[in-house]
Amino acid sequence: MNKNKKTNSKEVILKIRKHILEFQKLRGSKIEKLTYQEVKEQVQNGEYLIFNDDIIDFLNSLKINEEKKIYSIEKSLALYYHLVAREYLKLFNLITKKNK
């Protein structure tokens, strides 16, 4: 991964949040209070992207792997699960603060 394009860059965060919001809209559900582990389990159980190729394509669209290195599917899935769970919790907190 390019050291200049980390997974916490503003661009990456915005794309992941958009990804989460699109799936919530498709499901017809709102972001609710969950723990990191609960969100991660939802993602692992297919709440968002299901197919490995779709997950890898999504991660590649974030442009965090500009060297085009090949990572194991396990590493790619773990990164996807982590990014979605992390940003889901941040989105929940932002929405909660905004509605106060």
Query: Distance between CA atoms of 84 and 68, rounded to whole angstroms?
Result: 22
Domain ranges across the chain: 10-98
CA proximity to 56, closest of 42, 41, 69, 45: 69
| pLDDT lower than 50: segments of the chain | 1-5
Query: Distance between CA atoms of 74 and 76, rounded to whole angstroms?
Result: 5
What pLDDT shows up at residue 1?
Answer: 42
- What is the residue-wise DSSP string for 34-96? --HHHHHHHHHTTSS--SHHHHHHHHHHTT--TT-----HHHHHHHHHHHHHHHHHHHHHHHH
Q: What is the pTM of this model?
A: 0.85
